[in-house]
A = this chain, B = another copy of it.
Amino acid sequence: MERIAVQTNVLKANQEAAIEIRRAFEQEGLLVINLMSGPGAGKTSLLEVTIKALQAQYHIAVIEGDLQTDLDAERIRALDARAFQINTGTMCHLDARMIARALQEFPLKGVDLLVIENVGNLICPAAYDLGESLRVVLCSVAEGPEKPKKYPVMFHKADVILLNKTDLGLPSGEDQLELEKNVKDVNPRAKVFAISCRTGAGLAAWTEWLTNAVATHKLKQLTAQ
């Protein structure tokens, strides 16, 4: 009981911080993505191809969440994009207060799109609002088709679901079809893209969609002022 009460307090404190951060993001006209997946589904690879496709048009910045290492931030900086690394130690997710602290050292003036790459974990990050505009969940076809059924909370709350590593699926395409069906069953409202960051398949549809999302968000903020 004590544990549940503390968990409730933690989530309440997180929500209060998330409301503050969201307000700050909206004042900047910034589209913010909370990018989540299990370990090794390809979040950083997705960021690399997305940054390359959009950086001529938009200013993109990334906040990286990892238990340890700054390997992911280094991969982003190698593309001349700005990246801030949060190391969570043993903590299995990012929370809004970590983002608030990061923003004090990582000003976002002039940035159009901020991506927060969460810790690789298909469970815990789903409970923590980071003030994001969109929740994007990535799932690798190589993980098997039943993941949406077994980890429904993460998939249920997603605005966009990307099915990555389509090049590692069965030659028959059967596992990818089953994964797509399971995604639709758990979350019929999410926008779904099947992609391969390695071969480039399906990426044009995703980057076009995201380009429009950033433009629409900026326009909405301008007309609201």
Contacts and interface: CB of A to CB of B under 8 A. Distances in A.
A86 to B, nearest CB: 13
A68 B149 contact: yes
A66 B148 CA distance: 12
Contact of A168 (B41, B119, B127, B142): B142
A68 B120 contact: no
Interface string A17-54: 00000000000000000000011111000000000000
A140 interface: yes
A224 interface: no
Contact of A120 (B2, B38, B127, B168): B38
A219 interface: no
B90 A127 contact: yes
The interface size bin for chain A is 35 or more
Contact of A2 (B6, B146, B147, B153): B6
Nearest to A44: B144
A201 to B, nearest CB: 16
Contacts of A136: none
A40 B140 contact: yes
A205 interface: no
A124 interface: yes
Nearest to A165: B142
B153 A123 contact: no
Interface string A95-127: 000000000000000000000000111111001
Contacts of A67: 123, 150-153
A92 to B, nearest CB: 4
Contacts of A213: none
A143 B3 contact: no
Given A10-B3, A38-B39, A121-B121, A71 B153 contact: no
A55 interface: no
Interface in A137-188: 140, 142-144, 146-147, 149-153, 165, 168
Given A68-B150, A71-B146, A92-B121, 6 more contacts: A39-B143, A40-B147, A42-B144, A69-B150, A92-B124, A121-B123
